[in-house]
Amino acid sequence: GDSVTQMEGPVTLSEEAFLTINCTYTATGYPSLFWYVQYPGEGLQLLLKATKADDKGSNKGFEATYRKETTSFHLEKGSVQVSDSAVYFCALSDQGRSGGSYIPTFGRGTSLIVHP
């Protein structure tokens, strides 16, 4: 079945450092890929998405490129801020398998802690 593997956290960085959170996936079809962010005490929010190979999703300074050849969707940001401290979830939705409901498969989440 489909699966998503994220690097384990926590990832601890100083403000203005470069961020990479690795995400790889396995899927039988042609999935869409997502990154969600969860701030403390809140639900998940969609951060960015990419729906086909070589697409780049971007939002709030975060970027991720859909790499079909390496089955990866790594999240990057050039200069993190304290306010980026949160848990980040990689997810995929295999449209062919789940039909109209597009049920995603989530990774286990990576905690990011940014120090001033």
Contact residues for another protein (CB under 8 A)? Answer: 32, 34, 36, 41-46, 49, 51, 89, 93, 99-104, 106-109
Closest separation between CB of residue 8 and another protein, Å? 10
Nearer to another protein, 14 or 26 (CB): 26
Nearer to another protein, 19 or 33 (CB): 33
Do residues 1 and 104 make contact, with C-beta atoms less than 8 angstroms apart? Answer: no
- Structure tokens given for 71: 């089955």
Nearer to another protein, 51 or 72 (CB): 51
Residue 95: what residue type?
A: Q
Phi, psi of 77, deg, nearest 5: -150, 135
Closest separation between CB of residue 107 and another protein, Å? 6
Closest separation between CB of residue 16 and another protein, Å? 29
Closest CA to 19 of 77, 65, 84: 77
Do residues 88 and 109 make contact, with C-beta atoms less than 8 angstroms apart? Answer: yes
